[in-house]
Amino acid sequence: MAEALHELSVPEAGALLRSGDLTSLELTRHALDRVARLDPALHAFILVTEETALERAAAADRELRDGLDRGPMHGIPYALKDIFDAEGVPTTNASRLCAGEVARADSTVERRLRAGGAVGLGKLTTFEFAVGGPSFDLPFPPARNPWSEDHVPSGSSSGSGAAVAAGLVRVTVGSDTSGSTRGPAFHCGAVGLKPTYGLVSGHGAHTLSHTLDHFGPLTWTVADAAAALRVIAGHDAADARTTEGRIPDYLGELDHGVAGLRVAHAPDWYAADPLTLPDITTGIRRALGVLDGLGAQVEEVTLPPYDLFNACGRLVFAAEAFATHENQLRNRPRLFGRYTYQRVMPGAGVTAADLLRAHHVRRSLRRRLDESVFDRYDVLVTVCGQSTAARWSDFPEDWPPPGLANDMRTIPFSVTGHPALSLPIGFAADGLPIGLQIVGRAFDEATVFRVAAALEAELGQRHRRPPEPPTTEMGS
């Protein structure tokens, strides 16, 4: 086969699996070999489940030969951020507090992927409890950015971003509370989707902030994300946050183009900010030109102040994250990593009145965004992050790192629950990836994917991978 197996998209690999020109065992062994060879330097995986992966790949091959087709992920390898339960496998949350814990049942995400015939390779590195930061005081080393050993992959789905960018696996599932999927996708040059709140079940995934947590795919291409979402989305009786409704054929709608779509552009959050890298502003402008050239109608809009979204989201996050971890914070505080403790403990000072006011503001912001943007436009295009990946040296002993607190512009759509996708659009002058953010109406991921696919075809540079790391570990 002329193209390396890890460069096949999910639809491409799926077509070969169904024709008999490729087997899931071949695809899985290729992925496991890359993990064994490259991951000692990247630390993207916490655990590799090689034996189980090969068994499931063999089962997928038998089913396909027998004419049983379980859907777009059948026979395709994937990996999970290590906050999702998989029966019989440890869920570490990258924390000492979870030492020795083995999941008794599958999370809904894992169950649906298995039911769809997909092949799990293992668990991916995360910031502790999907919060904290790139820490060296945890049981597992932090993941590395494949584009440069001097830079972090962002977080908290750090292992997902690193694994996808390095070609260890094309499909991962992470969590996104304020940008934890979109951030690593942005800084590693991958595609990261935060679906509409309630589209993907969080049952069996560790809770951080109950009303801000979203769960979705981080992948190499838009088509990969569309395939994965088709499998994991949908109502779940075990998670009251999920909603009823038909799940579209996201893959089938990717090639519908953008002609006639109305695209809102919101430069007020970034264009005049001196913290925004000029390469990012230029890249977004170029992307908007592509959409205009393809027949979309692009118009500038003004959004509510970013700082209002940020303050609202941070207050809700602080209160809910503290509530989630309160018992352990009071009884076993020294087992937390330093960053995690420093980020979660301030929630102890949030009052009930504070939280009620924050939720009132949240409802108002959601309504204002719908009225000012989504009542008139199909998607919103804006900034995702303001700079390329931070250096390890930017992170001191204590949180927050100076100058990094406002790098990402992702929390507004966690606050409102709208679907938001981080799409790579090229590289900055320093050689590191840059991207933009595409936001859609609630439960209209199909249109977000359509716009992203159109841009990816022109700007995505999906042929370009980071240099393979040496087989020895990168320095810490």
The answer, yes or no, to whether residue 401 has pLDDT greater than 90, is: no
The answer, yes or no, to whether residue 473 has pLDDT greater than 50, is: no
pLDDT at 377: 98
Block residue for tokens 């249109």: 447
Tell me the pairing of strands 77-81 and 119-124. parallel
Reported as a single tens digit per residue, the pLDDT across 75-100 is 999 999 999 999 999 999 999 999 99
Query: Degrees (nearest 5) of the Cα angle 174, 175, 179?
Result: 115
The answer, yes or no, to whether residue 475 has pLDDT greater than 70, is: no
Active centre residues (catalytic): 81, 156, 180
The answer, yes or no, to whether residue 409 has pLDDT greater than 80, is: yes
Reported as a single tens digit per residue, the pLDDT across 96-109 is 999 999 999 999 99
**Quick one: angle between helices 278-293 and 445-459, nearest 10?**
110
Q: How confident is the model at residue 470 (pLDDT cuts 50, 70, 90)?
A: confident
201: nearest Cα among 223, 234, 230, 152: 234
Alpha-carbon torsion, ordered 409, 412, 413, 414, to 10 deg: 100
Helix ranges (DSSP H) in 241-305? 278-293
Quick one: residue 225, left, alpha or beta (phi over 0 = left, psi -120 to 50 = alpha)? Answer: alpha
Q: What is the mean pLDDT of the chain?
A: 95
pLDDT at 3: 67
Helix ranges (DSSP H) in 332-424? 338-344, 352-369, 411-416
Residues 255-266 have a mean pLDDT of 97
Contact 369/160 with Cβ under 8 angstroms?
Answer: no
Reported as a single tens digit per residue, the pLDDT across 202-212 is 999 999 999 99
pLDDT at 110: 98
All residues at 6 or more sequence positions from 404 whose CB lies less than 8 Å from its CB, including other chains: 390, 394, 395
Contact 200/214 with Cβ under 8 angstroms?
Answer: yes
Reported as a single tens digit per residue, the pLDDT across 32-70 is 999 999 999 999 999 999 999 999 999 999 999 999 999
Contact 393/418 with Cβ under 8 angstroms?
Answer: no
Higher-confidence position of 310 and 401: 310
DSSP state of 130: G
Instruction: Name the strand (E) or helix (H) holding 451.
Output: helix 445-459
Residues 240-265 have a mean pLDDT of 96
pLDDT at 405: 53
Q: What percent of the chain has pLDDT over 90?
A: 94
pLDDT at 476: 40
The answer, yes or no, to whether residue 248 has pLDDT greater than 70, is: yes
Q: What percent of the chain has pLDDT over 70?
A: 97
Q: Three-state SS for 247?
A: coil
Reported as a single tens digit per residue, the pLDDT across 155-182 is 999 999 999 999 999 999 999 999 999 9
- Report the amino acid identity of residue 437: Q
The domain defined by 5-459 folds into Amidase signature (AS) enzymes (3.90.1300)
pLDDT at 471: 64
| Rg of the chain on CA atoms, in Å | 21
Reported as a single tens digit per residue, the pLDDT across 321-343 is 999 999 999 999 999 999 999 99
pLDDT at 406: 59
Quick one: residue 171, left, alpha or beta (phi over 0 = left, psi -120 to 50 = alpha)? Answer: beta
Reported as a single tens digit per residue, the pLDDT across 261-297 is 999 999 999 999 999 999 999 999 999 999 999 999 9
Reported as a single tens digit per residue, the pLDDT across 108-143 is 999 999 999 999 999 999 999 999 899 999 999 999
Reported as a single tens digit per residue, the pLDDT across 219-231 is 999 999 999 999 9
The region of weakest confidence among 196-200, 269-273, 315-319, 458-462 is 458-462
- Tokens representing 128 are 């502790």
